[in-house]
Amino acid sequence: MTSATPSAAPPGPNGSPGTSGAHASAASPASSASRADRIGDAALDLLVERGMRGLTHRAVDERAGLPQGSTSNHARTRQALLETAVRRQVQLESQVLTPDELPGAAGPHGTAGTAGTAGPSGTVGTARAAEGARDRPRDGAPDGAPGRTPDGAPGTAPGGPSEPAPHALLDTDTLVDALSLALHRYLTDHRALLVSRYELALEATRRPELRAFFDAAGSVFHGPLVAMTAAAGSPEPERHALSLIAWCEGLMFSCAAGSFHAAVPSRAELRTGFEELLRGMLGGGTGPGRGESTGAAGDRGGRCRA
């Protein structure tokens, strides 16, 4: 998320907003980044600083430090330039969490969990634990009920809203930790990514061809979130994933451009919010220790402010 003004966004991993480093990947420093990445980073920076009107081929050349005409050679049309920006946006958002940052995670076969983050479609997270769930048959599924949803996520598990699925593969605490870490990192370290995402999303509402590309790019985040929700025991993973997306998107926008831009919740507060949301989805209590916020060391807080 971002603050109310783009210039107030905190520095990215390799630089401050307003420089090509603001959107540079930690794995791809400017000195070794590909030309496509440099163009994408510069395009995102311009969106944050100047908005859609400031995004031109010439401006990207100048921001990226490339010879005049380089951006036009890479992306000849404005649509192609916007697609380059969307593609880079997805790449950077997928790196907000590293593969080993699903706290205390272990997949169904003992593999370490892995988490992604909110993409253009607003989803948060992906886990190997959930991936393993896709290949497991559903025990006790009603006759004719599919074992997987069309996107490969586990199908609806037996049991009503107040009865969690009996074969949950992903501990709720693990899911809460991953989601709260990703969201808190957006709100504190990657606000510029949220500003550029909102600029692209708004432009997609005016350009049908960009809408199709934007949605397709963001769809890579949706299936894994549905799978994670199912693996945590959701009886209705598609609907519950939508609720998680809506809650995250609303909070991100409020803290990036809305009335809560100066009052970012702590990780502990975000954790409490996710606990309350998932408790309502999955039913039952929070379990031992789940009633307390256990974010970063020494970080304790109450309910989420937004």
Residues 70, 135 within the same domain: no
Residues 255, 179 within the same domain: yes
Kindly give the confidence (pLDDT) of every residue in the chain, 306 residues in length, as a single tens digit, with 9 standing for 90 and above.
333 333 333 333 333 333 344 565 444 444 457 999 999 999 999 999 999 999 999 999 999 999 999 999 999 999 999 999 999 999 999 888 876 775 443 333 333 333 334 444 444 433 333 333 333 333 333 333 333 333 333 333 333 333 334 445 788 888 999 999 999 999 999 999 999 999 999 999 999 999 999 999 988 888 888 998 999 999 999 999 999 999 999 999 999 988 888 889 999 999 999 999 999 998 854 433 334 433 333 343 333 343
Residue 106 lies in a domain: no
Residues 276, 139 within the same domain: yes
Residue 55 lies in a domain: yes
Given 45, 77, 93, the domain boundary residue is 93
- Between CA 188 and CA 306 the distance in angstroms is 15
Residues 258, 133 within the same domain: yes
Q: What is the CATH number of the domain that holds 241?
A: 1.10.357
- Comparing C-alpha atoms, which of 174, 168, 182 is closest to residue 103? 174
Cα–Cα separations (whole angstroms), residue 35 to 21, 30, 84, 87, 254: 14, 10, 11, 13, 34
Residue 119 lies in a domain: no
Residues 56, 161 within the same domain: no
Residues 6+ apart with CB under 8 A from 176: 271, 274, 275, 278, 290
Residues 6+ apart with CB under 8 A from 273: 180, 247, 251, 265, 303, 304
Q: What is the pLDDT of residue 223?
A: 85
Residue 172, SS3 per DSSP: helix
At 96, which amino acid appears?
A: V
Residues 72, 148 within the same domain: no
Q: What is the pLDDT of residue 112?
A: 34
Tell me if 72 sits within 8 A of 84, measured CB to CB.
no
- Between CA 225 and CA 221 the distance in angstroms is 7
Residue 100 lies in a domain: no
Question: Does the reported pTM lie above 0.85?
Answer: no
Residue 121 lies in a domain: no
Q: What is the pLDDT of residue 186?
A: 94
Residues 202, 275 within the same domain: yes
Residue 246 lies in a domain: yes
Question: How many domains is the chain partitioned into structurally?
Answer: 2
Per-residue tokens: 34: 């590909």
Residue 1 lies in a domain: no
Q: What is the pLDDT of residue 128?
A: 37
Q: Which domain holds residue 220?
A: 128-282
Residues 154, 212 within the same domain: yes
Q: What is the pLDDT of residue 294?
A: 38
Residues 134, 272 within the same domain: yes
At 53, which amino acid appears?
A: R
Residues 43, 159 within the same domain: no
Residue 27 lies in a domain: yes
Q: What is the CATH number of the domain that holds 88?
A: 1.10.357.10
Q: What is the pLDDT of residue 1?
A: 35
Q: What is the pLDDT of residue 168?
A: 57
Residues 180, 242 within the same domain: yes
Residues 88, 134 within the same domain: no
Q: What is the DSSP letter of 148?
A: B
Per-residue tokens: 93: 């958002």
How many residues in the chain? 306
Q: Tokens 């809560």 belong to which residue?
A: 260
